[in-house]
Amino acid sequence: MRRGFGHAAAFTDFQRYARLCAKTRINSKFSVKDLLFSPLEKKSVALRIAPGNHLCPRVRYIFITGGVVSSLGKGLTAAALGALLEQRGLKVRLQKFDPYLNVDPGTMNPYQHGEVYVLDDGAETDLDLGHYERFTSGTLSRQNNLTSGQVYESVIQKERRGDYLGKTVQVIPHVTNEIKERLKSAGKGVDVLVTEIGGTVGDIEGLPFIEAMRQFALEVGKQNVAFVHVTLLPFLAAAGELKTKPSQQSVAKLREIGIQPDVLVCRTERPLDDDIRAKLSMFCNVPVRAVIEEQDVGSSIYELPEMLAKEKLDDIVLDLLGLKTRKRPNGAWREIVRKLKKPKRRVTIGVVGKYIELQDAYKSVYESLTHGGIANDCGVTIVRLDAEAVEKNPAKMLAKLDGVLVPGGFGGRGIEGKIRAVQYVREKGIPYFGLCLGMQVAVIEFARHVAKLKGANSTEFDTKSPHPVIHLMPEQKGIKTKGATMRLGSYDCKLPPRTISRAAYGKDSVRERHRHRYEFNNDYRELLTKAGLLIAGVNPGRDLVEIVEVAKHPWFVGVQFHPEFQSKPTRPHPLFAAFIKAAIARHGKK
Q: pLDDT tens digits, the chain, 590 residues: what are they?
A: 333 333 333 344 444 444 544 444 444 444 433 344 444 333 333 333 333 333 444 899 999 999 999 888 999 999 999 999 999 999 999 999 999 999 888 888 777 778 999 999 999 999 999 999 999 998 999 999 999 999 999 999 999 999 998 899 999 999 999 999 999 999 999 999 999 999 999 999 999 999 999 999 999 999 999 999 999 999 998 888 899 999 999 999 999 999 999 999 999 999 999 999 999 999 999 999 999 999 988 889 999 999 999 999 999 999 999 999 998 887 778 889 999 999 999 999 999 998 888 888 899 999 999 999 999 999 999 999 999 999 999 999 999 999 999 999 888 788 999 999 999 999 999 999 999 999 999 999 999 999 999 999 999 999 999 999 999 877 767 676 666 678 899 999 999 999 999 999 999 999 999 999 899 999 999 999 999 999 999 999 999 999 999 999 999 999 999 999 999 999 999 999 999 999 999 998 86
Residues 452 and 525 occupy one common structural domain: yes
- Do 479 and 330 lie in a common domain? no
* CATH number for the domain harbouring residue 419: 3.40.50.880
Q: Which of 214, 272, 283 is nearest to 247 (CA)?
A: 283
Same domain, yes or no, for 311 and 400?
Answer: no
- CB atoms inside a 10 Å sphere around CB 34: 15
Distance CA 224, CA 479 (A): 46
164 found inside a domain: no
Q: Give the integer Cα–Cα distance in Å for 202 and 196.
A: 15
Of the candidates 165, 16, 95, 140, the residue with the CA atom closest to the CA atom of residue 489: 140
Per the structure, the count of domains in the chain is 3
Residues 91 and 190 sit within 8 Å (Cβ to Cβ): yes
Strand 145-147 relative to strand 467-472: parallel, antiparallel, unpaired?
unpaired
Last residue of a domain, one of 296, 314, 334: 334
CA 176 to chain centre: 24
| Residue 315 included in any domain | yes
Domain co-membership, 283 together with 214: yes
552 within some domain: yes
Decide: 81 and 313 in contact? Cβ < 8 Å: yes
Q: How many helices (H) and strands (E) does the chain have?
A: 21, 23
Q: Residue 304 falls within a domain, yes or no?
A: yes
413 in the same domain as 295: no
State whether 96 and 23 are in the same domain: no
Which residues constitute the domain of residue 28? 7-44
Query: Helix (H, G, I), strand (E, B), or coil: what is residue 79?
Result: helix
Largest CA distance in the chain: 90
Q: Looking at the domain assignment, is residue 563 inside a domain?
A: yes
Q: Is there a domain that residue 259 lies in?
A: yes
Residue 458 is inside which H or E element, if any? strand 456-458
Domain boundary among 334, 368, 392: 334
Q: Are residues 399 and 277 in the same domain?
A: no
Separation between Cα atoms, residue 421 and residue 411, nearest integer Å: 17
Specify whether the CB–CB gap between 63 and 195 falls below 8 A: yes
Both 73 and 111 in one domain: the answer is yes
Residue 152 lies in a domain: no
472 and 522 part of one domain:
yes
Beta strands in 233-290 (DSSP E): 235-236, 241-242, 263-268
Of 368, 362, 424, give the one whose Cα is nearest residue 393: 424
CATH number at residue 244: 3.40.50.300
3-state secondary structure of 519: strand
**Eight-class DSSP state of 541:** T
**Rounded to two decimals, what is the model's pTM?**
0.86
Buried/exposed code over 362-394 (b: 16+ C-beta within 10 A; e: otherwise): bbbbbbbbbbbbbbbebbbebebbbbeebbeeb
Cβ count near 244 (within 10 Å): 19
Burial degree of 411 (CB within 10 A; 0-12, 13-18, 19+): exposed
DSSP string covering 14-56? HHHHHHHHHHTT------GGG--B-HHHHHHT---PPTTSPP-
Residues catalogued as catalytic: 436, 562, 564
Confirm whether 170 is domain-assigned.
no
Say yes or no: 256 and 307 in one domain: yes
Q: Please, are residues 17 and 46 in contact by the beta-carbon 8 Å criterion? A: no
Residues 6+ apart with CB under 8 A from 339: 373, 374, 377
- For residue 229, give the DSSP letter: E
Alpha helices in 406-552 (DSSP H): 415-428, 437-449, 500-505, 525-530
